[in-house]
Amino acid sequence: MNARRKFALVCSFLGFVLASACLYRTTPLSMMAFFSGALPLFALGIIVYLLDLAIIALRLRQGGLK
Amino acid sequence: MVYREIPDDEETRNRLWRHALLALVIIVIPVLYSAVTAEVALERSKSLQFCASCHVMTPYVEGLKAPDSELLAAKHYQYRRINHNQCYTCHADYDMFGPAKAKANGLKHMIHYYFAPPRKIALYKPFPNSHCLQCHDGARSFVKAESHKEIIEALRSDEMKCFDCHGPVHPSHVEKGK
């Protein structure tokens, strides 16, 4: 697994932790952590993973031309 | 121009399954989990307990629970005229975007609470009668009351405030911002 995918997985994992804390006990602090922490982490993980897929697609396209 | 065919061997299939699993874990599940968490958290943030968890709200909540209090908010709470989400029921607007605005303001309040707590808190705008009338208007006790007969249209149009006769709502030392 390359570094980008590992980074995306780590972001998702941290986002899950913060979101779970908010789901378990909804307090102003846990809500702040969810909206300002978990959501940006999820978004970052998705962006990095999509970037990784785009790089793979570009490589396939370049490597596939005859 | 011919593209290389994707080989149909076990390694490629495993690679595709791994990508499918990664997409599930990184994209699909986080999106669904975020949606559920946001909905549950915003729903729970309507509760009195949630409002009371910020210390700036303590005087208001104490006023609500003070025994034998004649304050309007206390009577609504203690006689369970509003069964739950008492703060939210009175303070959220009832127009199309009222609940969304209330939730957005709530998030803003949280940011202020942690980063720039205000010395004095105040309503964004004068309290509209519509927040009272969304429950009371149409009720027999409201429509048939002698004292309301001449002023009912003024109450509905907000020319006259419900609190002019039925206030105060919260403890006076809090309302004056002391």
Mean per-residue pLDDT over chain B, rounded: 84
> Residue A4's pLDDT band (boundaries 50, 70, 90)?
very high
The predicted structure's pLDDT at residue A43: 96
Burial class (CB in 10 A: 0-12, 13-18, 19+), B86: buried
Going from N- to C-terminal start, the domains of chain B cover: 13-44, 45-175
Q: Is residue B54's pLDDT more than 90?
A: no
The predicted structure's pLDDT at residue A8: 95
The predicted structure's pLDDT at residue B107: 77
Calculate what percentage of chain B has a pLDDT beyond 70.
92
CA B45 to chain centre: 7
Q: Which residue has the higher pLDDT, A1 or B50?
A: B50
Q: Which residues of B touch A65 (CB under 8 A)?
A: 1, 3
Answer for the pair A41, A11: CB distance below 8 angstroms, yes or no: yes
The predicted structure's pLDDT at residue B98: 74
Q: Coil, helix or strand for A1?
A: coil
Mean pLDDT, rounded, for B12-40: 92
Q: Is residue B177's pLDDT more than 50?
A: no
Quick check: B26 and A12 CB within 8 A?
Answer: yes
Cα angle A35, A41, A43 (rounded to 5 degrees) comes to 90
Answer for the pair B28, A50: CB distance below 8 angstroms, yes or no: no
Nearest CB to A28 within list B36, B40, B53:
B53
Give the residue from chain B lying closest to A26, CA to CA. Answer: B41
The predicted structure's pLDDT at residue A22: 94
> How close A65 gets to chain B, by Cα (Å)?
5
The predicted structure's pLDDT at residue B5: 66
- Determine the Cα–Cα distance for residues B44 and A27; give it in Å rounded to an integer: 9
Neighbours of B151 (CB within 10 A): 14
Complex confidence, ipTM: 0.90
Mean pLDDT, rounded, for A14-43: 93
Q: Is residue A7's pLDDT more than 50?
A: yes
Mutation site for B-interface testing, chosen from A42, A47, A56, A62 by largest number of B Cβ within 10 Å:
A42
Q: Is residue B161's pLDDT more than 70?
A: yes
Assigned CATH for B45-175: 1.10.3820
Q: Is residue B53's pLDDT more than 90?
A: no
Quick check: B50 and A45 CB within 8 A?
Answer: no
> Residue B174's pLDDT band (boundaries 50, 70, 90)?
low
Q: Which residues of B touch A15 (CB under 8 A)?
A: 30, 34
Q: What residues have CB less than 8 Å from B118, skipping those under 6 apart?
A: B56, B112
> How close B25 gets to chain A, by Cα (Å)?
8
Tokens coding B48:
């009195």
Quick check: A16 and B30 CB within 8 A?
Answer: yes
Of all helices (H) and strands (E), which one includes residue B44? Answer: helix B29-44
Cα dihedral B11, B14, B20, B24, rounded to 10, equals: -140
> How close B97 gets to chain A, by Cα (Å)?
20
Mutation site for B-interface testing, chosen from A31, A39, A59 by largest number of B Cβ within 10 Å:
A31
> What would the pLDDT profile of B31-41 be if each residue is shown by its tens digit?
999 999 999 99
> What would the pLDDT profile of B107-160 be if each residue is shown by its tens digit?
788 778 778 777 777 788 888 888 898 889 989 988 888 988 898 899 989 899
Mean pLDDT, rounded, for B46-67: 86
CA atoms within 13 A on the CB side of B119: 2
- Determine the Cα–Cα distance for residues B43 and A5; give it in Å rounded to an integer: 34
pTM of the model: 0.78
